[in-house]
Amino acid sequence: MPESPLHEPVLEWYDDHQRDLPWRRPEASPWSVLVSELMLQQTPVARVLPVHEAWLTRWPTPAALAAEPTGEAVRAWGRLGYPRRALRLHGAAVAIVERHGGEVPDAYTDLIALPGVGDYTAAAVASFAFGHRHVVLDTNVRRVLARAVSGRELPGPSVTRAERDVATALLPDDPATAATWAVAVMELGALVCTAASPRCGDCPIADRCAWRAAGHPAYDGPARRAQAWAGTDRQCRGRLLAVLRDSDLPVHRSALEAVWPDGAQRTRCLETLLADALVAQVGPDTFALP
């Protein structure tokens, strides 16, 4: 389903406005792309940039990372958030060495079999790193298509069949063009067609946007539940892990008690961190990164 009136303006806009990101440069390796995609899951580009650079310097290949303890990945992950992603990236590196001779695979089915790689990430790596033709459906793309094509402000909570059909119908036939289209729509969503304050005045397809034509009707789907934070297990786990991350030596229980007063919750969170293999117990009362 090639020629859509959306293609040319979006591709031209991307050519003029795309950000210069390390994982988009011609010399970027598939490993660099994969690392960036894991880090960018729910984490803003600005915070990923320095960690990605340090990561690729220290571990230029999957084999280099796979040779290290998982705790080194957790430490290097720093404050990107969702540190289980660090374990998954390490696990992906191990799997790449074991199953693919140390080379990041280019096939979607091989990619999605890696830890931490779901539909979006598999399609993104196959498309961005290898130029393959895939529907790359992230939250940015979903929002752009919801607006421009479907006339709604925001996509629903989960990907629908109809949404995927729309994205598939718009995907250019030529693989190279499809890959550029995928990253271009995503970039448009990230820079112009943003969630909160879309800059329709800068949008290359504003005159073809169904949402704009309909007068920017407000989102009418199910309310997205706000995520609580203060006092949650997530906050507690974050505090505990930060103590271990910031110490080169194993830490005593007392150091953990100091950052979270609620003993029952602290104990429970420490247990889940141990169960998740984000923390290791190295003595009767001492803990460290694995």
Q: How far is the CB of 131 from DNA (least distance, A)?
A: 16
Q: Which is nearer to DNA, 247 or 272 (CB)?
A: 272
Asked if 186 is part of the footprint of DNA (rule: CB under 7 A), the reply reads yes
Q: What span, in angstroms and rounded, lies between the C-alpha atoms of 222 and 157?
A: 8
Shortest distance in whole angstroms from residue 175 CB to DNA: 19
Binding residue for DNA, selected from 9, 81, 131, 175, defined by CB under 7 A:
81
The reply to whether 37 belongs to the active site is yes
DSSP symbols for the chain: ----TTHHHHHHHHHHH----GGGSTT--HHHHHHHHHHHTTS-HHHHHHHHHHHHHH-SSHHHHHTS-HHHHHHHHTTSS-THHHHHHHHHHHHHHHHHTTSPP-SHHHHTTSTT--HHHHHHHHHHTT--------HHHHHHHHHHTT--SS--SS--HHHHHHHHHHS-SSHHHHHHHHHHHHHHHHHTS-SSS--GGG-TTGGG-HHHHTT-PPP-SPPPPPPP-TTSHHHHHHHHHHHHHT-SS-EEHHHHHTT---HHHHHHHHHHHHHTTSSEEEETTEEE--
If binding is defined by CB under 7 A, does position 70 make contact with DNA? no
Q: Least distance to DNA from the beta carbon of 172, Å?
A: 20
**Catalytic residue of the set 3, 8, 12, 37:** 37
Q: Scan residues 35-64 and list those touching DNA (CB under 7 A).
A: 36-37, 40-45, 47
The least CB distance from residue 231 to DNA, in Å, is 11
Considering only 234, 252, 280, 282, the residue that binds DNA (CB under 7 A) is 234
Pick one of 190, 206, 244, 270: the residue that binds DNA (CB under 7 A). 190
Q: Does 200 bind DNA (CB under 7 A)?
A: no
- Best CA proximity match to 174, nearest among 163, 182, 164: 182
Q: Does 32 bind DNA (CB under 7 A)?
A: no
> Applying CB under 7 A, which part among 50-58, 167-175, 231-239, 254-262 lies near DNA?
231-239
Q: Which stretch binds DNA (CB under 7 A): 102-110, 171-179, 238-246, 247-255?
A: 238-246
Q: How near is the Cβ of 186 to DNA at its closest, in Å? A: 6
The whole-angstrom separation of Cα 123 and Cα 160 is 17
User: Is 115 among the residues that bind DNA (CB under 7 A)?
Assistant: yes
Among residues 60, 101, 157, 283, the one that binds DNA under rule CB under 7 A: 157
Q: Is residue 127 involved in binding DNA (CB under 7 A)?
A: no
Residues at the contact surface with DNA, assessed by CB under 7 A: 21, 23-24, 36-37, 40-45, 47, 79-84, 88, 115-122, 124, 138-140, 157-158, 186-187, 189-190, 194-197, 224-227, 229, 232-235, 237-239, 241-242, 272, 278
List the catalytic residues: 37
